[in-house]
Structure 1
Amino acid sequence: MAPSMEQVVPESVVQTTEHIQEKLGAIGLGNNTTEEPKPAEKVEEAPAVQAPAVEAPAAQAAPVEEAVKPAAVAASNYIKAPLKLSGAIDSWKNFDVTPVIGREYADVDLAAVLSAENSDELLRDLAITISQRGVVFFRAQDNLTDDLQKVLAQRLGELSGKPATSKLHIHPVANAGREHGGKDDEISVISSEQAKKIYINSKSKLYAQGVKKQNGKVGWHSDITFEPIPSDYSILRLVQLPSTGGDTLWASGYELYDRISEPYQKFLETLTATYAQPGFNEAAERNGFKIFSGERGAPENVGELLEAIHPVIRTNPVTGWKSVFAVGQHVAKINDVTELESEALLAWFVRLLVDNHDLQVRHKWKTPNDLAIWDNRSVYHAATPDYLDGNYGERKGNRAVSLGERPYLDPASVSRTDALAAERAATA
């Protein structure tokens, strides 16, 4: 049985953006112990992480010392029985895109679902389905406004049991303060033009590829895992499509866990990681603005230090299934192991992901207002920037990100494979 996550001993770490690019993101892990939890240590001043004082260019920014936000959490606060489907959306026409991940619904108007008399029942079953399938797709949601998209994101989280203090995330960079950021801080505008300006044209190290693009795997991530309270559900609605390209890929963290041998599973369940994204601070500094340091959708998500400690293997509270969480560009290191061991583990996770395309699903956006909803606790995703080097037009979408619970590992949780096998046996 894996030890409780409530006894995590946090270890702060500062990573440069060069390390993110080379090592697939910012990652850190820490073992659970049987000692009393120690208070969070102070992080030393790190220029690559700090945002500049743009209002006074000639002056040095005051040193910022913020404590890393640990993921130590009383497991009893969140551990619960998996949610069960009621059958409320069984009549919705759909097909599974792959055996492992992805489901597409046809002829469903989500705006109408939100106003239905039994909307709570419908949305609760939709949330459970998203958590089970990882990501679901809807076409041409022309009636879904930004405000309704926000309502949908929040209700999916609420109806599946997220904490009352968890609202919608405000992105530290992609918010209303940017030129292409829209008017609503709770809607992140995913814009190829904004990406070019903030990351590419300014030669941001976060997205630098060098002379030849040979490392597309660095794009894989789960949304905002650098926050103490990361996301449960994200909703992306593309409003403008390039003439070709721009697909998005998702991969199953459940399946990644299932493909690891049992001894390694047990070992990984004892570890935590440091999740961080100093690349956003670096991009802000290069472009002369400050990241959003106020409350970003939850009381715990504040400050300029985008860093937190979470388990390597986490439990999805909706399904009760285990998933590899420490994957992608927002992971800095595995805690309490050597640097070489951390790098090897993180590279191995990504290698498992990219070497096994049968745990992935690739989605082609066809029409404006096509929409995807996914569970960040159990999947990773990556956009395909193949349209950027030509005259294929802009790719632009509006994303609402619901915040969930502090990540934890429930020792009683099981793998997806074991859960489905038990379900089949029970109905045989």
Structure 2
Amino acid sequence: MKTTSMERTFICIPNVGESGYPRLYSGARELRKQSDFVPESEPYTVCSVHPLTPLIGAVVEGVDLREVDDAVHAELHRALLEWKVLFFRDQLLDGPEHIALARRWGNIEVNDFFPNGDVQAISRLAKGPKSIGQENMWHSDTSFRRDPSKVSILRAIDVPATGGDTMWADMAAAYDNLPGSVKEQIDGLKAIHTFTKSWGLTMAPEQVAAIAEIHPPIAHPVVRTHPETGRKLLYVNEPFTTEIVGLPRNEGDELLDYLMFQARVPEYQVRFRWEPGSVAIWDNQATQHYAINDYYPQRRVMERVTVAGDQPF
């Protein structure tokens, strides 16, 4: 056992290789929900916000996402920075309205890998009964871009009778709970992100080469800073992060494996059960998500719009 400066006791189960990184530990974790700039006592007046966990995720009521004006958007954005992912039920968005809602947060990002829905720039994720979902890895959308997604908005079109939930993890909490020695080790480090680790495996070599001209491997900070809240966020993920710059490969792989494991801690997570008309809006800078693949051969159809962000710093 070893104790950090926060007086936590770690129980290693087991270590990664010979690195000594504790995979899991029991006991208290620091779960700091609030963004520093949002006063704890400030109420929501335009909509009703109902938390699903003490840390991450809230259901929002009293809002028609087809009619979001400046006042509603301001409150939704504040709730998004506070809770990191917002959930809505019984929404009747069509494609153009989905796009219009996303534009409230910025410029639309066109995905190079998903087929389009009925409207350009809407990614359609349709699975079953002849195809199996492959999004069941903890990830941050488009981290392989120079300017990864800022906000993602996903709406349910057709959902299975059982299964098909999605989970989100708060990567500020994942960073906060790292041992102090690990924080010191990763301060200032960068990691390489590329689409070839995941999407590239399904492509012909010429396709990979063509897309690599648009999206070459990019180095992002291992710990990024949220551009609005200033929170430090652990920023590596399984399908897109390949190596840590400047470390020997074996050492870097062990550290990367340990860091990516942090999204799997249940205290940092929220789980959402989809219904037709459900919508989720999440801060892609502050979270990772995981689409649970437990519904095959049932059908699951979702449509997603992402908003372009800035280069992580």
1:263-274 mapped onto 2 (5 Å cutoff): 263-274=181-192
Q: Which amino acid aligns with 2:227?
A: P
Shift of 1:148: 1.6
1:361 aligns with 2:270: yes
Report Cα offsets for 1:361-416 as digits up to 9, x if no partner. Answer: 11111x2110001011110000011011x4xx3100110000111100xxxxxxxx
**Aligned partners of 2:236 and 2:260 also within 8 Å:** no
Shift of 1:140: 1.2
TM-score norm. by structure 2 comes to: 0.80
Number of paired residues? Answer: 277
Q: Match of 2:158?
A: 240
Structure that is richer in strand per residue:
2
Shift of 1:120: 1.9
Report Cα offsets for 1:113-155 as digits up to 9, x if no partner. Answer: x2xxxx223213312321221111000111x222121122121
1:110 aligns with 2:65: yes
Shift of 1:270: 1.2
1:261 aligns with 2:201: no
Q: Match of 2:255?
A: 345
Cα distance between partner residues in 2 of 1:319 and 1:152: 22
Cα distance between partner residues in 2 of 1:183 and 1:284: 24
- Evaluate the alpha carbon distance shift between residue 173 and residue 195 of structure 1 in structure 2; reply closer, same or farther with a 3 A threshold: farther
1:39-50 mapped onto 2 (5 Å cutoff): none
Q: Match of 2:9?
A: none
Structure that is richer in helix per residue:
1
Q: Which amino acid aligns with 1:400?
A: V
Cα distance between partner residues in 1 of 2:110 and 2:129: 17
Query: Could you tell me the percent identity over the aligned residues?
Result: 28
SS at match of 1:405: coil
Report Cα offsets for 1:323-365 as digits up to 9, x if no partner. Answer: 10112211111111011122111211233322x2111111111
Stretches of structure 2 that go unaligned for 5 or more consecutive residues are 1-34
Report Cα offsets for 1:57-92 as digits up to 9, x if no partner. Answer: xxxxxxxxxxxxxxxxxxxxxxxx986589684342
1:146-225 mapped onto 2 (5 Å cutoff): 146-157=95-106, 167-176=107-116, 182-193=117-128, 196=131, 219-225=137-143
Cα distance between partner residues in 1 of 2:229 and 2:237: 20
Q: Match of 2:48?
A: 93
Shift of 1:291: 7.4
SS at match of 1:402: strand
**Aligned partners of 1:93 and 1:106 also within 8 Å:** yes
TM-score norm. by structure 1 comes to: 0.60
**Aligned partners of 2:49 and 2:60 also within 8 Å:** yes
Q: Match of 2:144?
A: 226
1:386 aligns with 2:294: yes
**Aligned partners of 1:251 and 1:353 also within 8 Å:** yes
